[in-house]
Structure 1
Amino acid sequence: MLITVSGPPGVGKSTTASALADVLGLDHVSGGDIFREVADERGYSALEFNKLAEENDQIDKELDRRLQEIAAERDDVVLESRLAGWLAADNADFRVWLDAPLDVRAERIGDREDKPTADAREETAAREGSEADRYEMYYGIDVTDLTIYDLSINTARWDADAVVDMLVTAIDEYDPDADEGKYPVEATFEF
């Protein structure tokens, strides 16, 4: 099974995807981890590398190409990134969108990165705007269009274990024979 977990920064994508992969016996591939590794290899912070990506479209496109290849080649993975649902396209068996209010996400990010919440909020809002503009420009994707997702969860309302339990229940209850169809992904990817 190929499951995608998407959402903006600070919603718990990595925590959820990792736990879900463990419960289901699948591998977990994180686009954020890949992005941070490449940034670190090149001597940048994630924020600095994100700013560089605004000027060099090949950074995003290389990461997205890698994630799309994983989705096309594997069916034993929980693929996690902001665009995972789009990049996996119809290869995905189940697409999840996680969200939470910006203030909640900023507090989480501030705690995780040991920075003031106000700074995390400002950086997160700027990052989201920048990424949304780039995804629209590169691929014609409106990241606010959630119609491709099978399930959307506000992670500010439940703890991490409850979110994973909801997803496991939804996936366990899924019956491919009763499936009347998912929304097709109509984005064009040119890397």
Structure 2
Amino acid sequence: MLLTVSGPPGSGKSTNAAALAERFGLAHVSGGDIFRELADERGYTPVEFNELAEEDEQIDRDLDRRLREIALERDDLLLESRLAGWLAADHADIKIWLDAPRTVRAERIADREDKPVEVARQETTRRENSEALRYKEYYNIDIADLTIYDITCNTARWGPKSMQKTLATAVESYDYDTDEGKEPVEGVVYDF
């Protein structure tokens, strides 16, 4: 089984992806972890590294190419990244998009990163705007287009355990005999 979990910063991607991977015995690959490691190795914050990526498209292309290669190599994987659903659109069994209002996400990020909520909100807004521009320019992907996802959820509506139970139930009831929705998305440039 190949699952993808995508969503903006603070949406609960990592928490839910880790729980799903554990529940279903899947390897868990996080694009965010890889991106933060690359930023740290080069002495940047994730926000600064995002802005650097606006000037150096090779940063995104290398990360996205690697994530797509991983997705193509394995069938026992949960791939978590902002673009995971797009990177594996043509062969993922279930593509999940998680979201929450920006105020909720900023509070989560502020708590996780021990910073003021307003700073987290401003950084998150800058980061999302930066990424949206790059995804459109590089791959012709409109990150706001959620039509490729099988499941979309507002994680602010449920606690982590309830959300994980809901997602697990959806995965368990999935009909693996159908291949509908596993074709390349029209207009997207699969040049990762």
Q: Determine the C-alpha separation between the residues in 2 that align with 1:182 and 1:38.
A: 33
The answer on whether the counterparts of 1:3 and 1:79 sit within 8 Å (CA) in structure 2 is yes
RMSD: 1.2
Q: Determine the C-alpha separation between the residues in 1 that align with 2:30 and 2:176.
A: 26
Residue 144 of structure 2 is matched in structure 1 by 144
Structure 1: gaps spanning 5 or more residues:
none
Q: Which amino acid aligns with 2:3?
A: I
> What is the TM-score normalised by the length of structure 1?
0.96
The offset of 1:159, in angstroms, is 1.0
Find out whether 1:129 has 2:129 as its counterpart: yes
Residue 181 of structure 1 is matched in structure 2 by 180
Report Cα offsets for 1:134-184 as digits up to 9, x if no partner.
00000000011101000001000011111111111111111223x372264
The answer on whether the counterparts of 1:7 and 1:98 sit within 8 Å (CA) in structure 2 is yes
Residue 95 of structure 1 is matched in structure 2 by 95
Residue 26 of structure 1 is matched in structure 2 by 26
The offset of 1:190, in angstroms, is 2.1
Residue 166 of structure 1 is matched in structure 2 by 166
Kindly report structure 1 stretches of 4+ aligned residues shifted beyond 3 Å.
none
The answer on whether the counterparts of 1:148 and 1:183 sit within 8 Å (CA) in structure 2 is no
Q: Determine the C-alpha separation between the residues in 2 that align with 1:135 and 1:20.
A: 26
The offset of 1:82, in angstroms, is 0.3
Say which is worse superposed, 159-168 or 24-33, in terms of deviation. 159-168
Identity score, percent: 65
The answer on whether the counterparts of 2:11 and 2:155 sit within 8 Å (CA) in structure 1 is yes
> What is the TM-score normalised by the length of structure 2?
0.96
Q: Which amino acid aligns with 2:114?
A: D
The offset of 1:22, in angstroms, is 0.4
Write 1 or 2 for the structure with the bigger share of helix.
1
